[in-house]
Amino acid sequence: MITVLKKLLLITIVLSFQGNAQQTNFSKLDEFLNILNENKKFMGTMTITKQGKDVYHKAVGLSDIASTTKNSNLTKFRIGSITKAFTATMIFQLIEEGKITLETPLSKFYPTISQADTIKIANLLNHSSGLFNITNDPNVSEWMLRYSSKKMMLPRIFGYDLDFNPGEQTVYSNTNYILLGYIIELLDSSIYAQSLEARITKKINLEHTYYGKKINTNNNESHSYTKDNENWLIAQETDMSNPGGAGAIVSTSQDLTKFMNALFDGKLISQSSLEAMKKTNNDEVCHGITYANLNGVDLYASEGGIDGFQSLLVHMPSTKTTIALVANGLDFTKIRIILSALAASQGKPITLPVFTKIELTEEQVTLYVGEYACDEVPFKLIFEAKGNILFGAPEHSDLKELTPTKQHQFTLDPLGVTLEFYPETGVVKFNQPNSEPLIFNKI
């Protein structure tokens, strides 16, 4: 499994977050998000807090295109797998209450699941259980949009053998957190929605966070959308009985920052439980959240996606900076948006996205085709032409369509990459935000 934080490292964007810069660059962040909205790349909201205090809110786009209702800071979104961080928090609360331990076997609750005696609560939390990801079921499209009771879901789970022996690998599986949600219900003698309210939302005053039902726009809930050419189309609507403790929560960007801050401030679980939650089993996957180290700075995060909704929640303990991004329409990368927000929060420059495009002939595009190498990095850049379109990527990666924005210049805008070609010398300059340019020479 490669989490979103791991991808931050793989795409070689390096930002310097050291120190506590007093200045911010939020006007440029406003411009960044407005450009995305104007070009139908992003609809949603963002909240940034520092030291637990709100320092930035932004809402763009429409929560309901049919009624032209605008997103606002109070608009609620399905947060998908960020739900897992809430579920994990409740599990650690139950551990503190002595009702289970990290070593409690799954067989205590579901003895008929394959190898249930060897699957521990810890394996469920850190995705090392080996349980088949039930959302990869070949028939998922037949049942995901309809109500599923626990009695309907469990036989689906029981029907699969383990993908690997518990603890041998780490592979993301929604099944782990669906079962953890059921375990919370069993131990609390309640339904997940009630446990969520009692254990988290009422405790830290999250007024706009709850277990989702059918989308109700009259309750400030957003529809989600996917892109078809240049138009937003309303997305399908998963029945929230299915994702359960793996992805059924609805929230706002502001409530998400409150949750993350409360978690790291010890208002929901003890410091020892937080340290156990932060413990990684493969350098990035923790027990309910994920971890990365960027330029010596620790980051903890949770991300989600369900239907057309996308979300990302990031916390930087060193500066107590928290950023929540929730989108009901996204045709851009969450990574670049979050990195730009992190830079803005530190008063650092942001590279604005460019969506202008020029037309090239097939003959012009062939000028750039080939392999290019750079002494500073261990990979080549590969460029191929398909008609009058140029595709490119690092070797061994899928080729991506590049956008020509001016003579001899292309962008891969979701990652903020700009490529400047010099055909007469066989050189291409590789530019990314907040990084020194790299010079590649044609081989």
The region, left, alpha or beta by phi > 0 then psi within -120 to 50, assigned to residue 283 is left
pLDDT, tens only, 325-336: 999 999 998 988
Residues 257 and 327 in one domain: yes
Q: Same domain for 243 and 303?
A: yes
Residue 374 belongs to domain with CATH number: 2.40.128.50
Q: Quote the CA–CA distance of 298 and 93 in Å, as a whole number.
A: 24
Contacts of range 99-106, beta carbons closer than 8 Å, 24 or more positions apart: 99/187, 100/183, 100/187, 102/276, 102/287, 106/179
Range of the domain at 50: 4-345
What pLDDT digit, counting tens, does each position of 63-115 carry?
A: 999 999 999 999 999 999 999 999 999 999 999 999 999 999 999 999 999 89
pLDDT at 16 over 90: no
Regarding whether 191 and 49 lie in a shared domain, the answer is: yes
Q: Are residues 339 and 378 in the same domain?
A: no
Angle, CA 52 vertex, CA 180 and CA 416 arms, to 5°: 80
Note the pTM of the prediction, 2 decimals. Answer: 0.87
355 within domain boundaries: no
- Give CA angle at 125 (121, 128), nearest 5°: 90
Answer whether residue 219 is part of any domain: yes
* Count of the separate structural domains present in the chain: 2
pLDDT tens profile 375-412: 999 999 999 999 999 999 999 889 999 999 999 999 98
Tokens 């156990």, residue?
Answer: 276
From the centroid of its chain, how far is CA 381? 27
The tens digit of pLDDT for each residue in 286-307 reads 999 999 887 788 999 999 999 9
Q: 15: pLDDT confidence band, cut at 50, 70 and 90?
A: very low
Give yes or no for a contact between 299 and 316, defined as CB atoms under 8 angstroms apart: yes
Report the CATH number that the domain containing residue 37 is assigned in CATH.
3.40.710.10
Block residue for tokens 């032409």: 385
Q: Going by C-beta distance under 8 Å and a sequence separation of 6 or more, which residues neighbour residue 297?
A: 17, 18, 316, 318
